[in-house]
Amino acid sequence: MNNLQDLVDPAVEWKHLNSVVRVQYCRTLKNGKTKLETRYFITSLSHKAQQLSQSIRGHWSIENQLHWVLDVEFNEDNSRIRKDNAPENLAIIRHIALNLLKQDESEKGSIRSKRNRAGWDNDYLLDILNN
């Protein structure tokens, strides 16, 4: 599929669609091998390559930071839950918990300290859940 126009169905109206972007990148796997991957994006942004590349990098930066927090603070990568809908359901619960902990302004501290306190202090846990 070399033609980007093949990716977008012309019968579907794409309101404010300005660009279809193909990004090829090379990543190094944990075993040291490299892999060439391609991702496609549709966007309402202009077709300026610099603006598009900054937006894409910004998006993946946010995704990587979120994953890091979930892995480090919630030990998500070590979860052994793999059956049926359980992995997706628990990922949603972790995201909700992370968002609630981030919104809490009553205590200054890390997500880990807030999470620990919520586990030890039912009143604090209720405060987080009620906000």
35-70 per-position pLDDT tens digit: 898 888 888 877 678 888 888 777 766 666 777 788
| The pLDDT of residue 15 is above 90 | no
Of the candidates 80, 93, 75, 62, the residue with the CA atom closest to the CA atom of residue 101: 93
Q: DSSP character for 20?
A: E
- Distances from the Cα of 123 to the Cα of 47, 64, 80, 112, angstroms: 52, 32, 30, 17
- The amino acid that residue 40 corresponds to is Y
Q: What is the pLDDT of residue 125?
A: 93
Note the helical H segments in the chain: 49-74, 86-103, 111-120, 122-130
